[in-house]
A and B are shown apart, each in its own frame.
Chain A
Amino acid sequence: MEKRKTIQKWFWVWEFEKEENWLNEMAMNGWVLESVGFCAYHFIRCEPGEYTLRLEMHPYDEAYVQFMQDTGAEYVGRMMMWIYFRKKAADGAFDLFSDIDSRITHLDKIGKMLTAVGGANLLIGIANTFSPARLGWINLLCATLLMYCLGRIHGKKEALEKERLLHE
């Protein structure tokens, strides 16, 4: 029986929960994430349900990875701004966020990143529209897409903020 496999898959930025669910389903089926690449997920055999996977957007921060490891989580890898952790299910429940505030803060971080990258593309796009190569449309297209992502993230944040009015 094969021990390792790689799956190519694409998730939009607002689908990070879907991505996490998919990784947990894979673990349920006996494949745990071992490392990540660009749109590539490398898995290794595990006992079905042996691990819980979590991912979040977090700028590079050695102290944070250390902190997570101290609480019993394993660092799997990172791709762009996303960081992947896993923990053995036998070691207890594993979540990254336990209240609405920190979920909102997480969405804010994603939003800031999208605004920065989207804004840069917009500026480059406008500048390139007047350049001889006329390739500015590529950046403008990227900027539009990133702004759409930002809208989706904002929608998620609004839903949480509405809940925050009544609960913690």
Chain B
Amino acid sequence: MSDAMALTESTYYILLSLMMPQHGYGIMQRTEEMSRGRVRLAAGTLYGALNSLCDKGWIIQLPVEDGSRRKEYRLTEQGRTVLRNEVARLRELADNGERVLKEC
């Protein structure tokens, strides 16, 4: 699938949460905080998404530190570009929506 396609809400918030290294539960919390409780990522959905995002190279899994069993993830440069493009796309959607609704 093309990288220029729209991201799902889950993917968008996962990427946003991973500007800083974060483990699974941290991503769930960050997403809930940022969306003020509106978007709640379920663990099964998140697990599948993290694996696909690693395969795509948009995020990477960090080496597991000694004494910690939680895997941490971080956004890659490629992931950052995807995110930037998505924000531009969303802005276009929102701008058009506002403009059209104002006219009527």
Binary flags per residue of B1-43, CB closer than 8 Å to A gives 1, else 0:
0000000111000000000000111001000000000011111
With A70-B24, A70-B25, A70-B70 as known contacts, state yes or no: A96 contacts B9, CB within 8 Å: no
Residue of B nearest to A61 (CB): B47
B39 partner residues in chain A, CB cutoff 8 A: 98
With A66-B69, A98-B45 as known contacts, state yes or no: A71 contacts B40, CB within 8 Å: no
A-B contact count (CB 8 A): 55
Question: Is residue A26 within 8 Å, beta carbon to beta carbon, of the partner chain?
Answer: no
Give chain A nearest CB distance to B7 CB in angstroms. 10
B48 x A67 contact (CB < 8 A):
no
Given contacts A67-B43, A68-B43, A99-B9, 5 further A-B contacts (CB under 8 A): A67-B24, A71-B28, A99-B10, A168-B8, A168-B9
B44 partner residues in chain A, CB cutoff 8 A: 56, 68, 95-97, 102, 106
Q: Quick one: which of A68, A96, A98, A105 has the most chain B CB within 10 A?
A: A98
8 Å CB contacts to B: which residues of A64-83? 64, 66-68, 70-73
The 3 closest A-B pairs by CB, nearest first: A96-B44, A98-B42, A102-B45
- Total count of chain A residues near the partner, CB < 8 A: 20
A72 x B40 contact (CB < 8 A):
no
With A98-B10, A99-B10, A168-B9 as known contacts, state yes or no: A105 contacts B25, CB within 8 Å: no
Give chain A nearest CB distance to B37 CB in angstroms. 10
Give chain A nearest CB distance to B56 CB in angstroms. 15
B45 x A71 contact (CB < 8 A):
no
With A99-B8, A99-B9, A101-B8 as known contacts, state yes or no: A73 contacts B48, CB within 8 Å: no
A67 partner residues in chain B, CB cutoff 8 A: 24, 43, 47, 71
B43 x A71 contact (CB < 8 A):
yes
Give chain B nearest CB distance to A157 CB in angstroms. 16
Q: Quick one: which of A68, A99, A101, A106 has the most chain B CB within 10 A?
A: A99
Question: Is residue A93 within 8 Å, beta carbon to beta carbon, of the partner chain?
Answer: yes
Residue of B nearest to A93 (CB): B40
